[in-house]
Structure 1
Amino acid sequence: MTNDDRPSAAGATSAADYVAALRALRQWSGLSYRAMEKRAAANGDVLPRSTVITMLSRETLPREELAAAMARACGCTPDEVDTWVTARRRLAAANATPNHHTQDLAPGTPPSRFAAERPVDRPSRPPFAAERDGEGDGEADGRRVRRWVLAGAAGLVGVLIVVFVLNRSATADRKPDAGASTRHGPAAGTVIAELTDDATIERARPDGPGDPAVLVSCGPVCATDVAGQSRILLRFRVSGGVGNCPGQATLRLWRLGAGGPVDVYRANSKWEQSTVGWNAQQKAGTWLADTGDTGTDGWESLRFPLAAADGVLALTLIGKQAAPVTFASSEHPTRAHPAELRIDYTCP
């Protein structure tokens, strides 16, 4: 490939077009997410692999510094990086909300000058300063002082009454029901978890992970691996107020070709993608769901109840048949389809 073939965002007309151009640039470079992170670090940029995965799976404009760092990591020249930055600024400006506070001003009139020209009515003297005919200055001053004192005292009493009532109401609202647990965040909502690690472990490779480009699961004996079966491990970072609130989770996986069904279990999250192996795997926990038996490429969705998910959620996928089931990983060289997890939760 030549520089003339390198994808560009110069013709992007929307945020979705811009992100699609970034995906095409990564595919053109042939870099995995891990390799892109290392090349960015060599350039003096910070470009975490998990951040790139999340950025390319959405259709909103990424931060300017992330787009520039990714362009440099993919081999773009300084002029080409400027093209990516200029295109992003153009799209961001097109989506900016106009300032409604100045839209009625005459062209070229600064807001501060307009405000300065508005007439301001100010009383020439206090409202209680009127003097009755025949009163002396001393008597009038004393009368004004007494009126101001009485008005101030009445206002202070009113403020204290309002503060007392509001405080009583807030204290009553904060009293928890018997047995209720303390929680923070909204009563209900949706969280898109961030995929941080995905790996395949194989009985044939007891001390290390398998091919990082794909995720493969089969069992009890793989048709392509007489030494034993393989399993898939996924780990997600969950935030946004889920806490211990129950909810419904949707796991989406991009299936590559035909294969048998796969069981999904909740798992212990104490493992690292770079070092996990068959002998170091965590024991599978509660069964959650199973996939269907499809034979085409595309997204496959699994829904299952989730009692709680605070911080980190790890899953283990175990094949039911000898036919291997293959999914796209976060480091697949041509498919930008890492696993996705959505959680819809409701706090009682």
Structure 2
Amino acid sequence: MELPEIIIIGDNTFNKDNLSKLIKKKALLLTGPNISDIFAEKIEAALKGFEYEKEVVNTSTYDEAERIYNKYLGKDFEAIIGFGGGKVLDVAKYVGYKKKVHMISVPTSASNDGIASPFSSLKGGKHPYSIKVKPPRGVIVDLSVIMKAPKRFILSGLGDLLGKFTSIRDWKLASIEKNEYYGEYASKLAYESAKHAMISTKGIELLKYVSVRNLMEALISAGVAGGIAGSSRPLSGSEHLISHALDIIAPEKGTHGEKVALSTVFIAYLYGINWRKIKSKIQEVSLPSSFSQIGIKRDEVVDAILMAPSLRPERYSILHKLRLSKDTINNILDEINI
């Protein structure tokens, strides 16, 4: 079980004092192409007195992560600081893992649950899903930064959390039918994280400070659940497999959380749980309530649902069990109207 050692949440928390709890010497700062300009003064103030080098992460791909790793192969760093969105954090975790140094997670948005998880999701590799690395040693959530993020990315984090309602059911199903390990505590933590976010939807839609903080805490808790489980099982089920399939079939359409949220409605229907309530929460905020709203066609959705089980044959889920036909999928999509 590997978990973050330090988690700090609040206003203006990305500062020298808090960084001093995690690093003493030299660090490599990874950030996005625009983020470093927007928060230049904050970054400079926080890292004043530390020796560091800065590198811009252009894409969240294996090629980009390997480029950065190889560029700094002969240099020693005490830590890798990821200051950015999910793409930056995924690359930072991967580089830190390969260099065998600590990673410090400083998110600039609430777009997914990778903030504190021991998983890195990089495109262009052998598999279109997350790989296990190491969790961040420290997580510093500066709400003065998060509140400046585009609303769409904040809502995307809510969408990612909704997926926990079905991912834990897939995990339980695999335990019952395939004798797979099932962690009751990790499952409960993931569930409570999603539930915690759901009660704050109205406030999240209005970007209320307390509600956004609740969302960040829920995203961190979900990531910790993955660390406790030692796998992404409590975080990622068949709803994520559909999202990954859509990444292949309809690339660059919709955010991760938007696709997960809609896929969760579909999987909730298969499990016979209250899919209408999940959909109502999606509609309560500015998340898309249909795939067409993010430019994904019906036939692409159907193909993604058919493809999803093949992406991870070993990751047993309700899609593996039911092996739905194209006609059945279309009928369900008509009924739930996504």
TM-score range, shorter chain: under 0.3
* TM-score (normalizing by structure 1): 0.22
Q: What's the TM-score once normalised by structure 2's chain length?
A: 0.23
Choose between structure 1 and 2: higher strand proportion.
Answer: 1
Higher RCO by CA contacts (8 Å cutoff, separation 6 or greater): 1
CA radius of gyration, larger in: 1
